[in-house]
Structures are given as C-alpha cells and as structure tokens.
Amino acid sequence: MSIVTTQPSDGLSRRGLLTAAGAAAVGLGVLPGQAVADEVTAYDAIVIGGGFAGATAARELRARGRRPLILEARDRIGGRTWTDTFQGKRIERGGTWVHWSQPHVWAEMMRYGLPIVEDPGPDRVILSTDAGPRSFPPAEAFGRIGELLNRVFEGSSALFERPFDPLFREAEVRAIDGLSLRGRLDQLRLPPQDEGWINGFTASYAGGTNARGAYTQMAKWWALAGGTNSAWGTATGHYRVEPGTGALVQAILADSGAQVRLRTPVTSVVDNGRQVVVTTRSGERFTAPIAVVALPVNVWKTISFSPALPAAHAAATREGIGVPNGTKIWLHVRGDIGRVYAQPAEGNPIGSLIPFASLGDGQLFVAFSFHDTFDGTDLRQVRDAVQALEPKADVVSIKAQNWSKDEFSLGAAAYMQPGQLTRLHEALQRPSGRVAFATADIALGWNGYIDGAIESGVRAARSLG
C-alpha cells in the first residue's frame, strides 16, 4: 500500500509532512503527491473514504483482482475512529468498543492477532434524583437500570429473530418502526426516579433526545447483543482494541494493496454508464469501472452525483442517520472522587461520564455530550457541567472531538429515526449503477459500530462483482 498526501499549491505543508512521517512510522509506503487540475488517472476501482468501511471494501476489491485507489478527505485514515494520545495515554476519539458478539470486527481481530483490553468498572454511580445528582453503589444502580432496560426491550429478540436480517419479520417490525424511544418509555409509565434513571441512558444513544431515536434501532442492537442487560453491557462498552483501532484499520489497509491519497476531498461522482469519474476539491479527476462511496450518510449530500442519488439515498442524507449533535470529550480530572460513573437524566449537557485510567496527578475520564447548545470543546463549560454532577471534580484539561462539526462526518455515530428502518433500509443496501455505498450507518447488523462498517464494506464491494 502507498499513501500520497496531496499538496497545496505552495508546496507540501508542515502538516502534510507530518502526515507522511506518521504513515512511514507505521510501516506504510509514502509517495510525494501533487494534485493537478484536469489530470485524469485511471484505476480498476475507486473507494471514497479511508475509514473501516472503505479499507475493508478496498481489501475485498483487491481479493477480486482489482487495484483500488482510496481517496480520503482527512490527513489520516480511520474515518470516525481515531486513535490518539492524551496525558500520556492512548485514547480513542471516535468509535472504540468491540466484542465477540460482533462477528465481523471479531474475525478481523483474530485475523491480525490483535489483543483486547477490558475496561474496569466504576466504584460508584451518580444518577439523577428529585433532590439532584446522587451517588449509588454500582450493584444497586446497574441492577435497577438493568431491570428497567429488560422491560423496555422485552420481546426484542423475538421481533428481531434474525437480527442480521432486520426485516425477517417485516410485518411485525413495520408495525412498530414508527415508535420512538420516547414513545416506548411513555408506554411504561415509569415512576419519576426510574424514568430519570433510564431516559438519560437511552437518549445518549439516540443523540440526546429520546423523541429522535427509533425504538427499533436499539431493540435490534439489544437482540444482537443477546437480549439481556448483562449481555448488552459487555457487548457495547467493555472491551477495546489494545493497540488502538488505528492498528486494526492499518492492518486491513495494508492487505488491500491500495494506493491511499490523503487530504483529497471528493466533490463529484459521475457514472456515465461506462465508467465512474470522480472529481476532487482540487479539480483532479480519477476514473474506474466501479466505485464505492464509503462515507457517512450525512455527508452524501455534500457531493454532486450524476445520475442523482436514488430516492432512498437522497432521503437518508437529507434526514440524517448519524446523530446531529455528538462530542466525545477526554478529561484530566483532579479531586478525590474515585472511579465515578455518571449517567444524568435526558437533557443534561453531559450524556455520560466514564472513568478510564489513573494518572499521576488525577484521573482520565471520557464523556459524551449530545446537547445542541453545549460546547464540549470549551474547558469552562465542561468543568461547570461535570461539577454540577460531582462538585469535587476539578477538570484541568480536555481533548474533545465534535463529530457533528467535522465537515467529513457531519454527525456522530448512527442512530436511525422512527420509520427509517422499514422505509429506507433495504434500498440503501443496493448499488446505484456502477456505484455502491458502504458505511456503518447502513449495516444490516451492528450499524453505528466498527463491526457494521466492516460488514458494509465487504457487502458493497461484492455487490459490484
């Protein structure tokens, strides 16, 4: 595999040099690159996007005898996963957790011999009460939340009898697909404290508000995980790739043999019936018999497609599947607060606060925010929000990634809205002429997870023959 970094007109920037140096450090060949307007270069296949979906699609195309080109808009690979460092610790600024119930990512872990690491649990849990945030023993807090979740998703395993074929029981799924998480919680008529304990949990997946999120989305995940709260907890937030998600996507890319061009945003995709012509922001053009668009659904609308996107694809990118407000925040916290986990009620600026590691002068936490007016990149706002949950917490520094304001994601992880599964899902799996679409957002199974990105990449490449 070779990596080309596209230069600005005044020569290779310092950032481009650092990108090339970083690629060389992980053992990837690096070539100097210069974008030239009106130049046309032909390949066997083009993959737009260098995240897990794109990397997997490229490897699958290579296995089918094609020489793929990957065009990646960012100055790094990984898409909505991003292994970085903070306070001397390896962190993930995007997608993180894996599990053996996620078959596609687990197969890749075994293939490349990458170990996992288990995140330790908290020693206390802060939840909302009528009197404000209060600490509870983990067994009591998680025990009650588990009982509530089992009620919320009762019957999910029957509804999604074959969860990797989510419309296997189409009539039953269609009958309930218009229900939001808010609607499901309203059906249960929970006491105020139970409502406060559970609505923040579900809202943190749906993008901050239960009214936005489809009940069927989380019900499908629930069935995929095993249909119980204990299975859910270990399947979705307990194990990480020990050397980082970056190590896994790099391994997949290395096997793809693809040429990777970084800092190369795409503006146009034209399928003229004989070949696909892809034009970049700098004016450079590439052609290939087939192409895979491996970008988040929310980003499709920023590209000009000819012919126009099919109706379902156009609706999906207009409505959005990636949650519209999503910031992942790493925090260096001082203060005698222990390994505290916080899960406030829906509407709080902090969706959840999770302990990660001890530091020499404090602790490292990770938080998620889905609040539309809260700036998770602002230290003062973050400090105030955390102290409203735990007054002893002194947030001294942060590293945050607002995926919603990232022009190449325009949203955080996937969570479908009511009606989208039955209205859009099947059509989103199909290619449009010589162009296929791959993204974790539209995966059959674990959409929104690394597993879904890998599944989607394989399926898209195979759909083009």
Q: Is 72 annotated as a binding residue?
A: yes
Rounded Cα distance, 338 and 142, in Å: 17
Q: Is 297 annotated as a binding residue?
A: no
Rounded Cα distance, 168 and 126, in Å: 40
Q: Is 223 annotated as a binding residue?
A: no
Q: Give the tokens for residue 166.
A: 């989510």
What sign does the CA torsion over 237, 239, 243, 245 have? negative
> In the block, which residue shows the tokens 């955080």?
412
**Phi then psi dihedrals of residue 366, to 5 deg:** -125, 140
380, burial (CB in 10 Å: exposed 0-12, middle 13-18, buried 19+): exposed
**C-alpha 127: how far from its chain's center?**
26
Q: Give the tokens for residue 245.
A: 């998600």
DSSP letters, 217-228, are HHHHHHHHHTSS
**What order do you get walking across the sheet with 340-343 strand by strand?**
134-136, 124-127, 340-343, 352-359, 362-369, 327-334, 394-402
* Residue stretches of the annotated binding site: 72-73, 266
Give the residue numbers of the binding site for FAD. Answer: 72-73, 266
